Copies of this chain bind each other. A is one copy, B any other.
């Protein structure tokens, strides 16, 4: 059994693993809002528990045990987010913080029953895939909106930034999951993107475009 804090470290390491291998101390410390020295301490502890492989000054990778623990936390996080949106009428920008707490509730029965109650959803309100009880899930082939060229079309199927500020911004621009879009122009000097949604022209910054994930069509 892991503590609340250990679970958070495992989850962060899991997410950062998709960006860099191995995961560096500073990357963790930035994400989790703690000093690098504290991260080193915790990594040593996780290493002694057999949840990560740690090489001094090189960084960490998850062991199988660490990864499956992390995936289970991600599963719980995303199922709770679906619950909040589908059953309790939360908006997609209101769920993340609450799910950060709910993901640590310890009960297999609870999470399996919740999965069933929600009808075994495959994706969460931000388009992220939900692992099944064995930790399996299909990685979707999504491309960042910022990678598209003028004329490209597609559907918004995910976002890689979950802050309320960002999601509210998207909502205001009607850039929500399922919406069809078409690129009109990518401005050379700042990388901002002009695009078409629901017959409306909109302009978004390169920053925003990087966080919107598209299924091309």
Contact = CB atoms under 8 A, between A and B. Distances in A.
A94 interface: yes
Nearest to A84: B110
Nearest to A116: B88
Given A94-B109, A109-B94, A88 B101 contact: no
A107 interface: yes
A160 interface: no
Contacts of A84: 110
A117 B84 CA distance: 11
Contact of A87 (B94, B107, B117): B117
A contact face: mostly helix, strand, loop, or mixed: helix
B90 A98 contact: no
Contact of A89 (B90, B98, B113): B113
A113 B88 CA distance: 6
Contacts of A107: 97-98, 101
Interface in A60-101: 84, 87-90, 94, 97-98, 101
Nearest 7 CB-CB pairings of A with B = A88-B113, A98-B107, A101-B105, A98-B110, A88-B117, A87-B117, A102-B105
Interface of A: 84, 87-90, 94, 97-98, 101-102, 105-107, 109-110, 113-114, 117
19 contacts: A84-B110, A87-B117, A88-B110, A88-B113, A88-B114, A88-B117, A89-B113, A90-B109, A90-B113, A94-B109, A97-B107, A98-B105, A98-B107, A98-B109, A98-B110, A101-B105, A101-B106, A101-B107, A102-B105
